[in-house]
Amino acid sequence: MTDQDTRYEAVRSRDARFDGEFFFAVETTGIYCRPSCPAVTPKRHNVRFFTTAAAAQGSGFRACRRCRPDAVPGSADWNVRADVVGRAMRLIGDGVVDREGVAGLAVRLGYSARQVQRQLTAELGAGPVALARAQRAHTARVLLQTTGLPVTDIAFASGFASVRQFNDTIRAVYAATPTGLRAAVRTSRPPTGTPAAGIPLRLAHRGPYHAAYVFDVLEREAVAGVEEVSGPAGGRTYRRTLRLPYGTGIVAVDERPGAGPRERGTGRASAVHPGGWLDARLHLTDPRDLTTAVQRLRRLFDLDADPYAVDERLGADPRLAPLVAARPGLRAPGAADPEEYAVRAVVGRTAAASLVRAHGKALDAPCGTLTHLFPEPAALADAVGPLAVALADGAVRLDPGADRDEAEAALLAVPGLDGRTVAAIRARALGDPDVAPPGADVPDTWRPWRTYAFHHLHATEEPHVRVLD
């Protein structure tokens, strides 16, 4: 069976495990969909497959209004891969092309713009501009359908250079005008997001999601003034402040699980590996930060992971099998701000709270117990020392496109950092799914998911593995 035959079988069975891993388009309708789309399965000879939504859009297909393929989780490959394509996709997701252009993306990757264009197009069927355009279209749809912001404001908040470019893109991707997209959702429910109320979000994930463990970690680590976790277990809400490229943000994410996809006409959850979402609300001082804020939350909550691949590999190990069975879909929490996490890993929670009070920037309008942004590295040079200096002057890079091996080597060169701390930073700040603590006796069969294996062990309170959080 060819790879395309396997993909068609996934479409035929509406298998949500593959949502975001590939897209399919139907030549007779001009529409592209996610694999789990509930519509009637098209005939095989009418179907084309694409690695990215941008590639489908570039071939002239518009997004399905029924399954909303632009809202799927991102491919887990971009978290796993350390090559230039994986690094580029993480940077594009963070909004670098919108802020710095393709030239800025290329500089961060250490390649020429032509090389980046060639590699992305060859593998993904779309270059950086097309990939960023698809992301802008999704951001615009979210703002149109969840907020009352004026359409012109949404155009620029989404990253478009002009209103005309915005209108043309929305028509091409969704076969509707911006006002038409907004009117369609208003028939069922009015927009609830306003500058005061915030933007309501559904942060999609594939497969099972063991929210309790993630919220346990976040609650244990929460730094006063910057973060808080409130509510009873099973119904907690995590809130924190965010420093973003254009302004600041405050986000609230609920532990309560969202609904998975439904079988058409039954009201029952799909039997084919349903996904779901985390409900969130985001307050931004500048809506241009929406894309970046969402991507940073996705990394913090590890929402683009592939729990099926992780659980299959680790569940085959006799030591880990009962742990995987007890916590299917266990995630490896990341970091909303990589530089912040690195500082916190070195100084600890109590000292981090002191740094916030002494050096953090106070919010113009405090929100409950959230009063400050975590201080930037440049403000911590005297208080924290060599690590803060290395982060501030760029000797250590921890942005989404950083080369993980180079970052680890740079961290190890910082006086005062030991191997265990560097391993924690690599796992959490850089989102590496395959990290083991130095000196740990780890079987090769745990690769490439060693980070997840140690989180499973951590969840059992084994004292010698408390190093990756």
Between 175 and 273, the more confident residue is 175
The mean pLDDT value for 211-235 works out to: 96
Catalytic residues: 33, 441
Of the candidates 162, 130, 158, which has an alpha carbon nearest to the alpha carbon of residue 145?
158
Residue 441: pLDDT band (50, 70, 90) is confident
Q: Match 């907004």 to its residue by tokens.
A: 182
Q: Does residue 384 surpass a pLDDT of 70?
A: yes
The mean pLDDT value for 241-249 works out to: 97
Residue 462: pLDDT band (50, 70, 90) is low
List, in order of start, the domains of the chain with CATH numbers: 3-71 (3.40.10.10), 82-146+149-186 (1.10.10.60), 199-299 (3.30.310), 305-334+431-469 (no CATH), 338-418 (1.10.340.30)
Look up the pTM and report it: 0.91
What pLDDT does 85 receive? Answer: 94
C-alpha distances out from residue 174 to 23, 57, 161, Å = 15, 10, 19
- Rounded to a whole number, what is the distance in angstroms from the first to the last CA of the chain? 42
What pLDDT does 374 receive? Answer: 98
The mean pLDDT value for 197-213 works out to: 91
The mean pLDDT value for 214-228 works out to: 97
The mean pLDDT value for 215-229 works out to: 97
Among the residue ranges 160-174, 195-209, 284-298, 331-345, the one predicted with the least confidence is 195-209
What pLDDT does 2 receive? Answer: 67
What pLDDT does 196 receive? Answer: 56
Between 193 and 141, the more confident residue is 141
Which residue type is seen at 14? R
Q: 21-58 burial, b for 16+ CB within 10 Å, e for fewer?
A: bbbbbbeeeebbbbbbbbeeebeeeebebbbbbbbbbb
Indicate the angle between helix axes 349-359 and 338-347, nearest 10 degrees: 120
At 131-170, the pLDDT tens digits run: 999 999 999 999 998 888 899 999 999 999 899 999 999 9
Q: Does residue 318 surpass a pLDDT of 60?
A: yes
